[in-house]
Amino acid sequence: MNTEIEEVATSVEDHLGLLKELLGDEPVSVTKPKPAFKRNSVALADMTDEEYRAYKAQKQATRRAALKARESSGSVKFDSASTREALADAALLLLATGGPGADAVMSYLSKIYHDQVGAPLTIRSWAKSGKLKPKLIHIARKSV
């Protein structure tokens, strides 16, 4: 240890004195960052059964209104189910039109139904005849 630069601390009081000297006289306060989202301020545990049912009914009505507004504007909720439907619709349209990528869809169907040789061909004929219809096509048409 270089004694020319630093003082030698021989007791606990010396160590505390050095720490106070480094930190200064002002108390150090640590502030917690606020969360980016607002938590529910309703105490669900304090509600009666009737209050809880009314609360849940109001939340469900709000959710349904938002879904209707989104659908009327030409969009759907972005989640795994709607993503699967959109991708299935895209595959159906590719099969029906024979557009670029239809061979890849047919190859994938052949791998999925490897023990049922005629399944991919039947699916393609159903897509072409309109027996298999895209579920979200009405939304795609609104956005054009």
Q: Are residues 139 and 108 in the same domain?
A: yes
- The amino acid sitting at 101 is G
Same-domain status, 93 and 82: yes
Mark whether 82 and 69 lie in a shared domain: no
CA distances to 99, 126, 134 from 96, in Å:
8, 8, 11
Is 39 inside any structural domain?
Answer: no
68 and 108 part of one domain: no
Q: Based on the fold, state whether residues 71 and 117 are members of the same structural domain.
A: no
* pLDDT of 32 above 90: no
Q: Give the C-alpha separation, 62 to 54, whole Å.
A: 12
- Which residues lie closer than 8 Å to 93 by C-beta, 6 or more apart? 99, 127, 134
- Please check whether residues 84 and 144 belong to one and the same domain: yes
How far CA 57 is from CA of 25, 42, 100, in Å, comes to 56, 14, 47
Residue 16 lies in a domain: no
List, for residues 81-137, the tens digit of each pLDDT value. 889 999 999 999 999 999 899 999 999 999 999 999 899 999 999 999 999 888 887
64 inside domain = yes
For residue range 45-67, what is the model confidence (pLDDT) as tens digits?
888 899 999 999 999 999 999 88
